[in-house]
Chain A
Amino acid sequence: MIARLTSSFTRSAVITALALSVSFCAAQTTSSVYTNPRAGADDPRIGLKGGLYDAGEAAFGLKRIVSLPKPAGFAPDLAAIAAIDAAPEPAPGAPRAPRPPGPAGPAPYGTTNSDLAFSSTHLFVGNYNGVNFYDISDPAKIKLVTSMVCPGGQGDVSVYGHLLFMSVEAANGRLDCGTQGFPVPAAATPTPAPEPASPAAPGAPVARQRPPLPPPSSDRVKGVRIFDISDISKPKQVADVQTCRGSHTHTLVVDPKDKDNVYIYVSGSAAVRQAEELAGCSGADPSADPDTALFTIVVIKVPLAHPELSKVVNSPKIFTDPASGDVNGLWKGGTHGEGTQTTSATRGCHDITVRSDLGLAAGACSGNGILLNISDPVHPVRLDAVNDPNYAFWHSANFSNDGTKVLFTDEWGGGGQPRCRSTDPMNWGADALFNLKDGKLTLASYYKMPAPQTELENCVAHNGSLIPIPGRDIEVQSWYQGGVSIVDFTDISHPIEIGYFDRGPVDGTRHAMGGQWSTYWYNGYIYGSEIARGVDVFKLVPNKYLTQNEIDAASQVHVAELNVQNQEKFSWPANYVVAHAYIDQLARSNSLDAKQVSSLNAAIAKNKSKELKTMAASLDKDAAAAKSPVDANRMHKLADIIKQGGAPLQASLN
């Protein structure tokens, strides 16, 4: 079914792609590309004490206002952790020596918290064991309202109206949300004897083993679950859209031209299911089976009036080489030159971020960063693809608000490994910042959370969102146990850190999985999902890089829903709160001197329209000679606001 839809699509996509002259960026030299430096030995994040709920903390520009530990069913097992800590280390060199009994069960730190979604006054925290719903009408008094138990990681969530979407890829996901998983055979598993490697020439293909396949199960779910959350305390499962590789992540796509449906882009990176379990699934090489579930993403259509009828409507082969028609048309892995990073072959996407208003999507697709035209959301068409010698695994993407930049992340090591040690290169496991112009991506710089972390802390670039500060490109981002880092990439060639929050390791003596999975700005606050510790709520605090006026301007931006991968454009009211933010920025960059600043402030305070109009005119004029195009833009925006004059109410907000 999926396959048939695809082949006809592929042809048209190829033609369009050719017409748009798809380019494939060759290896880029890195010597000229800026990478932010590692922090000095005096960084307060170095040497923080470990602990689950009592770790040492360091913060700058961010204040943690409240944290809620994971609730029952998801929470760490404190007794088990204590037992592990008390157990003596096994003697080295005795691999088969008896171990202390395993008191921990599968997860002493509870089940993994994952991605976040927001709707009105509710926060949805995904977890490998389900989703927790929180009331955030008063963020400082965040309150759990419903725990929904429904295992099957990663539990990525999106919300649209009364519908909640959840990604399932794990081997224990059941249609009935059962926690029992699937039975392990009672008798000892017949493990096939290790097969001797071919003694023939080294490098000869290893003989394929044919182990017994697990029986397919009609109880298993891999794909996207859809819940009706009209009654927040009684979520109801209305549909499960099954896919061949499950859903590692998914992206809500809202087509501005289609009011009756929403779409879901499914990114899957796990093994392909048996055809016996889900008809049509094939994990074969595309040369052997053109209908393979590899080298594609899956598009689900959700009819809003009948979400139970949601189904897969396309499986576009977005990696196709327009010249040869080979569906495995992008980066096949390989060297980019001496000393460069290994890049995963592009077999699927890990995550996709869409900007429906621009008709664009940025895909982080294992071996490539790609750009898609999604004007027709069911039939995305590749516009550009880039690779990078320092990138191991393209993980996620964010657009700048004006759509001229894309920040990609590299999850080198998969998230479970400590890759922010002082020995790990600053351009590996980092963000890569690209300029986006005329549908083409060009590398501008790398950014990595600068404070070296310990061997005990899993750390690499992870999920983040924009903070709507007018006049600047600012992202708050998670780095697992590297904490939260706020990066300003207004000058894309020189990204700088302007705030951070970090805790010591979850466990100060041994490696334990934890840290921030997602950290997103939502309506004036920053929310973090901590894998082991629960939910954190933060506020920005002014510092030398950020003023209260800028924070106030950002806090004026209110959205009804937030699904970070369905990125919406921010806009700001033309009021004096925003004007003051621009004035602060122009003062910081010395484009306005102290005298100009004080006279502007005085005129705004008095709200004298004639005086303001004169000032606006001179700002527009001075913009031509501004220190940078960014400052020129700020001056024009500021002039626009003060020309109109601010209503007293707006002025009083400041």
Chain B
Amino acid sequence: MAEEGSIRFAFRLYAAALLCLSIVPAPCKAQATPADAPIVQPGAPGHSNKTLTAATAAGPHREPSEADVKFMQDMIMHHGQAVEMTELLKTRSHNTEVQAIGDRINVSQTDELRYMKQWLQDRGKPLASEHDSMAGMDMSGMDMADMAMMPGMLTPRQMDTLRKSTGSTFDHLFLTGMIQHHTGAVNMVKQLFNTQGAGQDPQLFDFANDVDNTQLAEIDFMQHMLKKEHQ
């Protein structure tokens, strides 16, 4: 193990050296190689330390949990509907304030869609799960109009009503619909962190926490706008 580790370590140094030889000299001149320092893993309080090798320091390679992958796949579909809703705003709403919050939601959800797709792609995972599509299912005899795909997502009937409305009716439906939609996303984050073994991927942890922070804030914002409707 130790031998294997040091070989890999040596390879990394070699790779770094190669990079330095082949690329512009200016940045490389200053690029020093890692020093030969001990890698210590402290024990719990009262327990002794361990010494790790370069190979073991990074820890075991861990596949993302099924719940992590499902969270990202579901959230892609979830965000997709929010973007669709904000697109409708451009032609349906005449309220600049509603358009402003819509623009912000559009920016953040579009950025996050890209982020989630890349997260899945980097881990060799499909962008959608099998459950995310009803295609191929026999839905005869089922009324799907009132079924939402994900927590908080608007039902086909709700989306249809939104598409057909304009002006202040649209604004009201947009705000209430987006609050419902965001509340669903916040619950999806809660559910992720309540699933055994989930959320241990640091990037996913940061991302999910930011979704939580951002969408809670946007919910508050939209609730205030709804209150103003009644004033």
Residue in B37, B43, B200 whose CB lies within 8 Å of A146: B37
Q: How many A-B residue pairs have CB under 8 A?
A: 364
Residue in B58, B111, B126 whose CB lies within 8 Å of A74: B58
Residue in B32, B59, B157, B191 whose CB lies within 8 Å of A199: B157
**Interchain CB contact under 8 A, A172 and B220:** no
Contacts A71-B37, A206-B187, A237-B44 given: A102-B27 contact, CB under 8 Å? no
A107-B123 Cα distance, complex, nearest whole Å = 10
**Interchain CB contact under 8 A, B121 and A90:** yes
Say if the beta carbon of B97 comes within 8 Å of chain A. yes
**Interchain CB contact under 8 A, A189 and B114:** no
Q: Which residues of B contact A213 (CB under 8 A)?
A: 194
**Interchain CB contact under 8 A, B38 and A147:** yes
Which partner residue on chain A sits nearest B26 by CB separation? A57
In the complex, chain A residues 250-267 whose Cβ is within 8 Å of any chain B Cβ: none
Residue in B28, B58, B212 whose CB lies within 8 Å of A179: B58
Q: Which residues of B contact A112 (CB under 8 A)?
A: 202
Q: Which of A184, A236, A347 has the most CB of B within 10 A?
A: A184
**Interchain CB contact under 8 A, B37 and A57:** no
A112-B108 Cα distance, complex, nearest whole Å = 23
Scan A468-503; emit 1 where CB is below 8 A from any B CB, else 0. Answer: 000000000000000000000000000000000000
Say if the beta carbon of A352 comes within 8 Å of chain B. no
Q: Which residues of B contact A65 (CB under 8 A)?
A: 30
Q: Which residues of A contact B43 (CB under 8 A)?
A: 176-177, 237
Say if the beta carbon of B61 comes within 8 Å of chain A. yes
Say if the beta carbon of A170 comes within 8 Å of chain B. yes
**Interchain CB contact under 8 A, A171 and B199:** yes
What is the minimal beta-carbon distance from B135 to any residue of chain A, in angstroms?
10
Pick out which of these stretches binds chain B: A336-344, A520-528, A555-563.
Answer: A336-344
**Interchain CB contact under 8 A, A197 and B49:** no
Q: Which residues of A contact B154 (CB under 8 A)?
A: 197, 202
Contacts A78-B15, A96-B127, A413-B210 given: A197-B153 contact, CB under 8 Å? yes
Residue in A129, A172, A189, A239 whose CB lies within 8 Å of B195: A189
Say if the beta carbon of A18 comes within 8 Å of chain B. no
What is the minimal beta-carbon distance from A412 to any residue of chain B, in angstroms?
9
Say if the beta carbon of B88 comes within 8 Å of chain A. no
- Which range holds the interface residue count of chain A? 35 or more
Residue in A54, A236, A345 whose CB lies within 8 Å of B19: A54
**Interchain CB contact under 8 A, B207 and A183:** no
Pick out which of these stretches binds chain B: A317-325, A368-376, A414-422, A620-628.
Answer: A414-422
**Interchain CB contact under 8 A, B151 and A197:** yes
Say if the beta carbon of A363 comes within 8 Å of chain B. no
Which partner residue on chain A sits nearest B226 by CB separation? A203
**Interchain CB contact under 8 A, A413 and B108:** yes
Which partner residue on chain A sits nearest B6 by CB separation? A72
Q: Which residues of A contact B212 (CB under 8 A)?
A: 271
Q: Which residues of B contact A143 (CB under 8 A)?
A: 35, 37
Say if the beta carbon of B39 comes within 8 Å of chain A. yes
A208-B184 Cα distance, complex, nearest whole Å = 9
In the complex, chain B residues 139-197 whose Cβ is within 8 Å of any chain A Cβ: 146-155, 157-158, 173, 175-177, 179-180, 183-184, 187, 189-191, 193-197
The interface size of chain B toward A, counting residues with CB under 8 Å, comes to: 120
Say if the beta carbon of B57 comes within 8 Å of chain A. yes
Residue in A108, A170, A211, A513 whose CB lies within 8 Å of B191: A211
Q: Which residues of B contact A179 (CB under 8 A)?
A: 41, 56-60
Say if the beta carbon of A106 comes within 8 Å of chain B. yes
A199-B59 Cα distance, complex, nearest whole Å = 47
**Interchain CB contact under 8 A, B224 and A176:** no
Q: Which residues of A contact B64 (CB under 8 A)?
A: 106
What is the minimal beta-carbon distance from B229 to any residue of chain A, in angstroms?
12
Q: Which residues of B contact A617 (CB under 8 A)?
A: none
A101-B123 Cα distance, complex, nearest whole Å = 7
**Interchain CB contact under 8 A, B45 and A191:** no
Contacts A335-B221, A335-B224 given: A129-B59 contact, CB under 8 Å? yes
**Interchain CB contact under 8 A, B124 and A170:** no
Say if the beta carbon of A40 comes within 8 Å of chain B. no
**Interchain CB contact under 8 A, A99 and B115:** no
**Interchain CB contact under 8 A, A99 and B200:** no
**Interchain CB contact under 8 A, A53 and B16:** yes
Q: Which residues of A contact B37 (CB under 8 A)?
A: 71, 133, 143-147
Can you list 7 A-B contacts (CB < 8 A)? Answer: A54-B27, A69-B31, A73-B54, A199-B155, A212-B195, A269-B213, A513-B203
- Chain B positions within 8 Å of A, measured between CB atoms, are 9, 12, 15-16, 19-20, 23-24, 26-28, 30-35, 37-45, 47, 49, 52, 54-62, 64-67, 70, 74, 96-97, 100-101, 104, 108, 111-112, 114-115, 118, 120-128, 130-131, 146-155, 157-158, 173, 175-177, 179-180, 183-184, 187, 189-191, 193-203, 205-207, 209-210, 212-214, 216-221, 223-226, 228
Name 18 extra pairs, CB < 8 A, besides A104-B122, A104-B123, A414-B210.
A53-B23, A54-B27, A64-B30, A78-B16, A107-B203, A144-B37, A147-B40, A148-B42, A149-B52, A184-B197, A185-B197, A203-B175, A213-B194, A214-B195, A269-B209, A334-B220, A342-B214, A414-B207
Question: Which 10 A-B pairs rank lowest in CB-CB distance, beginning with the nearest?
Answer: A333-B220, A73-B57, A179-B59, A102-B124, A203-B176, A414-B210, A184-B197, A334-B224, A72-B54, A197-B148
